[in-house]
Copies of this chain bind each other. A is one copy, B any other.
């Protein structure tokens, strides 16, 4: 078997066919076509999809995945060096997320039993203290944690 059908790619990658077509529309993967117009994939699409899944798992948006893919030279399969480079930035991102959650947990601890929920004093519920609890670098934590500091 030379080329893979979309169903086979779906089976092996764990993605739904609709997701694979969507990624194609979004320019994240591409495909050849059979005589009758059906998609046919080279085997290395699986590696590309694995890359996408890893990136999404770490929390990148598809837009960011697109950018990451663009830093891979010349459309070739990522080498170990490419992967290592990207892994480092992902690791940093995870560290930030973990730090933000730990800070939030500590803030919550300081709330327990404090007679809290005062808009003025509570670090968890006070909109103006959000930045202090979280620091500047946090990404894809719950949307509230990403609200602009000045609130709205």
Contact = CB atoms under 8 A, between A and B. Distances in A.
A57 B115 contact: no
B83 A144 contact: no
A47 B119 CA distance: 7
B14 A151 contact: yes
B113 A144 contact: no
A71 interface: no
A15 to B, nearest CB: 8
A147 to B, nearest CB: 9
B95 A51 contact: no
B53 A16 contact: no
A51 B24 CA distance: 43
Contact of A108 (B14, B90, B113): B90
Contact of A142 (B57, B118, B151): B57
Name the residue among A91, A122, A142 with the largest chain B CB count within 10 angstroms: A142
Nearest to A127: B14
Interface of A: 12-14, 16, 46-47, 50-51, 53-54, 56-59, 78, 80, 83-84, 87-88, 90-91, 94-95, 97-98, 101-102, 104-105, 108-109, 111-113, 115-119, 122, 124-128, 130, 140, 142, 144-145, 151-152
Given A83-B112, A97-B101, 11 more contacts: A13-B119, A13-B127, A51-B117, A53-B144, A57-B142, A58-B124, A59-B142, A87-B113, A91-B109, A95-B105, A98-B102
